[in-house]
Chain A
Amino acid sequence: MTLALEIPKLTIGSIREGLLKRRFSATELTREALRFAEAENPKTNAYLHFCPERALSAARSVDEKLARGEDPGLLAGVPVAVKDVIVTKGVRTTAASKMLADYIPPYDATAVECLDAAGAVILGKTNCDEFAMGSSNENSAFGPVRNPVDPERVPGGSSGGSAAAVAQGTAVVSLGSDTGGSVRQPASFCGVVGLTPTYGRVSRYGLIAFASSLDHIGVVARNVSDTATLLQVIAGRDERDSTSAAVPVPDYMAALNGGVRGMKIGLPREYFKDPDSETSKLVLDGVEVLKRLGCEVREISMPHTEYAVAAYYIICTAEASSNLARYDGVRYTFRSRDSETLADMYRNTRGEGFGAECKRRIMLGTYVLSAGYYDAYYLKAQKVRTLIARDFTEAFREVDALIAPVSPFPAFKLGEKLDDPMQMYLSDIYTITASLAGVPCMSVPCGVTSGGLPVGMQILTRHFDEAGMLRLAYAFERNRA
């Protein structure tokens, strides 16, 4: 098989083998991967831009290490896509916003430094909802992303480009970001694996903030093993992010092969309100597989789930309204021309530079933090957040993992929910509870609907138990029919 044909099927393991056996060099692979990705990209618009120079320079350094007999790193030569809300030194980083259309960061995010150090080859930056705000990738200033499974449908969001690129084969793995489900939901819609680690497990330094207390960098891959490897590379304490945790990072790849027999699984009844839906059925079929593997399954209750959407959209918009204040036209952003006064310059710049969803959230967030409303909205939402976190603590006293759907429905059609932001917000119901609690969670493909659309099964575990979560996902992946 020629290298070009192999590209969409490559895994971290097959690349490592190919490089070590000298079947191809990292430079050859990178050239081929770039050629393939650039050719395929118009089908999905998954990438916003490529960075061939940076990619080839990374590849050359892998080849040099191999030539010197040095360890080229866990991700040596692996073509990676990075969501365009994660800053890359010298490579345009737009957050899919007109506001940052020409912004070239002078520094790398910590996660990107980790990729570099592990020998990864960043091919380019992936499309997403503007400033990661959205669940369909239709809020990009540079056009929506199409689902590789069905181009009439959305890939999910906000990390739609990162999921689509991996599903399409134009990247082996990718970095996304997850604030309320933005890695898991697109992974589910595109039929790939998406993992969001514990809050504090991966540094947020260099992740363009949407809602700081909820933002996570997450990973997307075509299988659980690659997911584990990518997480291994980016996890760990970072002095530059005060909220990153000084918890030792276990060997995730080694953890994959432990058994799951006797593992206790909880099914929160609040997540299966519609047991007859195709999505619920596919997830419950998945649970049967786990039962066969010796897991003990029981139903549990997460009583505060119904308040999660409201609490989430108050907290995330409040933080967003502050995080997005820096895009004011004064320094590196887009600036509206010909404003008479400073106030006009602010108004025009922000009016023209932000898309509708960003403006909606800035206004909501400004409102909930305003004098006289803070207690009724923001403070109350924080209390709900505490109760939801407590639901998880209680649940994890009884069980080792929770299984739930990722989304109430599979990928929907472009434009289908665009006019109804409330419907769009409500569709995040199954993912935002984990975001509020900061527990690790992932989406693993568990089947397709009668219409051929992928559905993901969500696994959630205790804080910092990514190893247990990956082990369960790996066992499921290997044993599902």
Chain B
Amino acid sequence: MSSHVLPDTEVLARYEAVIGLEVHVQLATRSKIYCACPTSFGDPPNTNVCPVCLGLPGALPVLNRAAVEMAMKAAMALNCRIRPVSRLARKNYFYPDLPKGYQISQYDEPLAEHGYIEVTSGGSRRRIGITRIHLEDDAGKSLHEGFSDSSRYTYVDLNRSGTPLIEIVSEPDIRTSEEAYEYLTALKQVLQYIGVSTCDMEKGHLRCDANVSVRPRGETKFGTKAEVKNLNSFRFLKQALDYEISRQVSLIESGEEVIQETRLYDPDTGETVGMRSKEHAHDYRYFPEPDLLPLTISDEWRERVRAEMPELPAQKRARFIETYGLREYDAQVLTATRELSEYFERVAEVSGDARAAANWVMGDLAAALNAEGKEISESPVSAEQLGELVALISKGEISGKMAKDIFQKMLATGESARAIVEREGLRQISDTGELEALINQVLEQHPRQVEQYRSGKTQVLGYLVGQVMKASRGQANPAAVNKLLRAKLG
């Protein structure tokens, strides 16, 4: 396939892309979807296996209810309609790491359909339709490298065989690579929130393929689509889509036709390459899986699972704005992950000052974690500890400036704020008697500034406040000092 001269932005602007994503998500169950083997990652090859996931003669699948419940939660979070009766179906094809010669997936009666997710793209919110969500088992892994005889043999590790997946298929509602990026981000956020997947792309827990076509703006018919595979990072997704859109536009511009095919994204070149037609000319010969009964989900089961659903990001965002009076942007940031939102809420609860809690979490804490490259779950300062620090400020026991120093010490030592305050005698002086003594001392030492103030140069007040603060070694409550000084100089 020859390289294409990619069109310039002016030409591209005359076209519109139509994109649908197929996302495979590994469910976070402890055991596999059709047997009791563990789903743990990184064990020696072919150790987490049994007759069922090895595809031994005579073995039969048994559907893991935990996997079904996770898929139900994903369906609910994505506003899908869950079928009261769905069906498992065999998807037949030969591959060395597919031990049964078929996947047990779902076909014309998937678990859930007709959903949507809201994404923010280019400043506006849009609904992207979800066509369907279905359950299936993962294949094993072919190991082409790393053995002394890898030049001649491929080895197969079946530990992953039978790991539960859901496939989430979107409607062709996505129009730009940015929107695809936002869609995948929103999907990942929701799925992590409800705890059905870690969505760790590096471990292959989230895998993405795209159907891409282009059409002149204003056209309502779809163009011929290409399926682009191997979009297994957020960066690749955007790059691959941008490349593919440009490629298709330049074909059309040069009077050629887009052919329907499967293309593989090559992260090294940033291009998509057509796969030889033989490799994807699959007729999967789906038919209902005779070894499993139809999957019946009663109202009762569905409602029980619904009752276990945690708050979703959008709901939480709205609640943060409503309950804590946060700004839209702050609420957005603080609900980015479930862990962060829960951390913030705990700080807000312990401190009793949600706004201050938000500022600390998004400010000093975020900066400290960023500097260390740490996740919120790895924070050296617990939410309770940060809450206590914020409470000390709110109650006026320490100043904001003192708090910043104390916070640095907390980060370094893991000690509590109160322990540091007490050890170092760092409490804020708000007691009027104590402050008056300090003020009297400063006024005596600065008769000239007192004179100036009284003659109308009130701007020297700041200097005097500073002197009082200095005399208190920073511990005086600046607001109280200010008030007392004014009264004295009156």
A residues contacting B by CB (< 8 A) are 86-87, 93, 95, 100, 103, 105-107, 109, 204-209, 211-213, 239-243, 318-319, 321-322, 324-326, 328, 330-332, 342, 346, 366, 369-371, 374, 378
Selected from B54, B63, B287, the residue in CB contact (under 8 A) with A378 is: B287
In angstroms, how far is the closest chain A Cβ from the Cβ of B361?
Answer: 48
Is B172 positioned at the interface, with any CB of A under 8 Å from its CB? Answer: no
Query: Is A242 touching B54 in the complex (CB atoms < 8 A)?
Result: no
- Contact bitstring B96-121, A, C-beta under 8 A = 1, else 0: 10011110000000000000000000
The stretch among B266-274, B288-296, B370-378, B409-417 that forms the contact with chain A is B288-296
In angstroms, how far is the closest chain A Cβ from the Cβ of B463?
Answer: 83
In angstroms, how far is the closest chain B Cβ from the Cβ of A370?
Answer: 6
**Most A CB within 10 A of own CB, among B60, B99, B286:** B60
| Cβ–Cβ < 8 Å partners of A93 in chain B | 57
| Chain B, Cβ-Cβ closest to A319 | B290
| Chain A, Cβ-Cβ closest to B158 | A331
Query: Is A330 touching B156 in the complex (CB atoms < 8 A)?
Result: yes
In angstroms, how far is the closest chain B Cβ from the Cβ of A259?
Answer: 37
Interface members, chain B 9-63 (any A CB < 8 Å): 51, 54-63
Q: How far is the CA of A241 from the CA of B55 in the complex (A)?
A: 15
Q: How far is the CA of A207 from the CA of B60 in the complex (A)?
A: 9
Q: How far is the CA of A239 from the CA of B62 in the complex (A)?
A: 8
B residues contacting A by CB (< 8 A) are 51, 54-63, 90, 92, 94, 96, 99-102, 156, 283, 285-287, 290-293
| Chain A, Cβ-Cβ closest to B55 | A326
**Most A CB within 10 A of own CB, among B54, B57, B101, B285:** B57
| Cβ–Cβ < 8 Å partners of B55 in chain A | 326, 331
Query: Is B101 touching A86 in the complex (CB atoms < 8 A)?
Result: no
In angstroms, how far is the closest chain A Cβ from the Cβ of B278?
Answer: 9
| Cβ–Cβ < 8 Å partners of B94 in chain A | 325, 328, 346
Selected from B58, B156, B290, the residue in CB contact (under 8 A) with A205 is: B58
In angstroms, how far is the closest chain B Cβ from the Cβ of A93?
Answer: 7
In angstroms, how far is the closest chain B Cβ from the Cβ of A95?
Answer: 7
28 contacts between A and B (CB under 8 A): A86-B58, A87-B56, A87-B57, A109-B58, A204-B60, A205-B60, A206-B58, A208-B58, A209-B58, A241-B60, A242-B60, A242-B63, A242-B292, A322-B101, A322-B287, A325-B92, A325-B102, A326-B99, A330-B99, A331-B55, A331-B99, A331-B156, A332-B56, A342-B96, A369-B285, A370-B283, A371-B283, A371-B285
**What total count of A-B pairs have CB within 8 Å?**
97
In angstroms, how far is the closest chain B Cβ from the Cβ of A385?
Answer: 12
| Cβ–Cβ < 8 Å partners of A209 in chain B | 57-58, 291
Q: How far is the CA of A208 from the CA of B287 in the complex (A)?
A: 19
| Cβ–Cβ < 8 Å partners of B292 in chain A | 242-243
Query: Is B57 touching A103 in the complex (CB atoms < 8 A)?
Result: yes
| Cβ–Cβ < 8 Å partners of A212 in chain B | 290-291
| Cβ–Cβ < 8 Å partners of A370 in chain B | 283, 285
| Cβ–Cβ < 8 Å partners of B287 in chain A | 318-319, 322, 369, 374, 378
| Cβ–Cβ < 8 Å partners of B99 in chain A | 326, 330-331
Query: Is B290 touching A242 in the complex (CB atoms < 8 A)?
Result: no
Query: Is B57 touching A100 in the complex (CB atoms < 8 A)?
Result: yes
| Chain B, Cβ-Cβ closest to A366 | B285
In angstroms, how far is the closest chain A Cβ from the Cβ of B279?
Answer: 11
In angstroms, how far is the closest chain B Cβ from the Cβ of A87?
Answer: 5
Query: Is A243 touching B291 in the complex (CB atoms < 8 A)?
Result: yes
**Most A CB within 10 A of own CB, among B63, B90, B156, B287:** B287
Q: How far is the CA of A212 from the CA of B92 in the complex (A)?
A: 15
Q: How far is the CA of A388 from the CA of B215 in the complex (A)?
A: 52
Q: How far is the CA of A332 from the CA of B55 in the complex (A)?
A: 10
In angstroms, how far is the closest chain B Cβ from the Cβ of A103?
Answer: 7
**Most B CB within 10 A of own CB, among A93, A206, A239:** A206
Q: How far is the CA of A268 from the CA of B351 in the complex (A)?
A: 83
In angstroms, how far is the closest chain A Cβ from the Cβ of B225?
Answer: 18
| Cβ–Cβ < 8 Å partners of A86 in chain B | 58
| Cβ–Cβ < 8 Å partners of A319 in chain B | 287, 290
CB-CB under 8 A for A331 and B54, given A322-B101, A322-B102, A326-B99: yes
Query: Is B100 touching A326 in the complex (CB atoms < 8 A)?
Result: yes
Nearest 9 Cβ contacts at the A-B interface: A325-B101, A369-B285, A213-B290, A212-B290, A206-B58, A208-B57, A87-B58, A326-B101, A326-B55
| Chain B, Cβ-Cβ closest to A346 | B94
| Cβ–Cβ < 8 Å partners of B59 in chain A | 107, 205-206
Q: How far is the CA of A139 from the CA of B113 in the complex (A)?
A: 47
| Cβ–Cβ < 8 Å partners of B61 in chain A | 242
Q: A105-B58, A243-B291, A321-B92 are in contact. List 18 more A-B contacts (CB 8 A).
A: A87-B57, A87-B58, A103-B57, A105-B56, A105-B57, A107-B59, A206-B59, A209-B58, A211-B290, A239-B62, A240-B62, A242-B292, A319-B287, A322-B90, A331-B156, A346-B94, A369-B92, A371-B283
| Cβ–Cβ < 8 Å partners of A331 in chain B | 54-55, 99, 156
Q: How far is the CA of A212 from the CA of B293 in the complex (A)?
A: 12
**Most B CB within 10 A of own CB, among A211, A319, A324:** A319
| Chain A, Cβ-Cβ closest to B50 | A107
| Cβ–Cβ < 8 Å partners of A103 in chain B | 57
| Chain B, Cβ-Cβ closest to A108 | B58
Query: Is A243 touching B293 in the complex (CB atoms < 8 A)?
Result: yes
| Chain A, Cβ-Cβ closest to B101 | A325
Q: How far is the CA of A259 from the CA of B4 in the complex (A)?
A: 86
Q: How far is the CA of A325 from the CA of B55 in the complex (A)?
A: 10
Query: Is A242 touching B291 in the complex (CB atoms < 8 A)?
Result: yes
| Chain B, Cβ-Cβ closest to A97 | B57
In angstroms, how far is the closest chain B Cβ from the Cβ of A98?
Answer: 14
Q: How far is the CA of A414 from the CA of B453 in the complex (A)?
A: 126
Q: How far is the CA of A57 from the CA of B381 in the complex (A)?
A: 64
Query: Is B57 touching A326 in the complex (CB atoms < 8 A)?
Result: yes
In angstroms, how far is the closest chain B Cβ from the Cβ of A330?
Answer: 5
| Chain B, Cβ-Cβ closest to A239 | B62
Q: How far is the CA of A371 from the CA of B92 in the complex (A)?
A: 12
Query: Is A106 touching B290 in the complex (CB atoms < 8 A)?
Result: no
In angstroms, how far is the closest chain B Cβ from the Cβ of A111?
Answer: 10
| Chain B, Cβ-Cβ closest to A208 | B57
Q: How far is the CA of A443 from the CA of B276 in the complex (A)?
A: 55
| Chain A, Cβ-Cβ closest to B156 | A330
**Most B CB within 10 A of own CB, among A241, A322, A328, A332:** A322
| Cβ–Cβ < 8 Å partners of B63 in chain A | 242
| Chain B, Cβ-Cβ closest to A241 | B60
Selected from B58, B101, B286, B293, the residue in CB contact (under 8 A) with A242 is: B293
| Cβ–Cβ < 8 Å partners of B58 in chain A | 86-87, 105, 109, 204-209
Q: How far is the CA of A472 from the CA of B102 in the complex (A)?
A: 43
Q: How far is the CA of A355 from the CA of B286 in the complex (A)?
A: 25
Q: How far is the CA of A239 from the CA of B36 in the complex (A)?
A: 12
In angstroms, how far is the closest chain B Cβ from the Cβ of A447?
Answer: 37
| Chain A, Cβ-Cβ closest to B90 | A322
Query: Is A322 touching B92 in the complex (CB atoms < 8 A)?
Result: yes
Q: How far is the CA of A299 from the CA of B59 in the complex (A)?
A: 42
| Chain B, Cβ-Cβ closest to A318 | B287
| Cβ–Cβ < 8 Å partners of A239 in chain B | 62
Q: How far is the CA of A212 from the CA of B101 in the complex (A)?
A: 15
Q: How far is the CA of A107 from the CA of B285 in the complex (A)?
A: 30
Q: How far is the CA of A366 from the CA of B90 in the complex (A)?
A: 13
In angstroms, how far is the closest chain A Cβ from the Cβ of B33?
Answer: 13
In angstroms, how far is the closest chain A Cβ from the Cβ of B34?
Answer: 9
| Chain A, Cβ-Cβ closest to B154 | A342
**Most A CB within 10 A of own CB, among B51, B54, B100, B290:** B290
Q: How far is the CA of A240 from the CA of B62 in the complex (A)?
A: 6
| Cβ–Cβ < 8 Å partners of A243 in chain B | 290-293
| Cβ–Cβ < 8 Å partners of B283 in chain A | 370-371
**Most B CB within 10 A of own CB, among A241, A328, A332:** A328
Q: How far is the CA of A74 from the CA of B156 in the complex (A)?
A: 44
Selected from B54, B60, B286, B293, the residue in CB contact (under 8 A) with A240 is: B60
| Cβ–Cβ < 8 Å partners of B56 in chain A | 87, 105-107, 332
Q: How far is the CA of A243 from the CA of B96 in the complex (A)?
A: 28
| Chain A, Cβ-Cβ closest to B93 | A325
Q: How far is the CA of A36 from the CA of B51 in the complex (A)?
A: 35
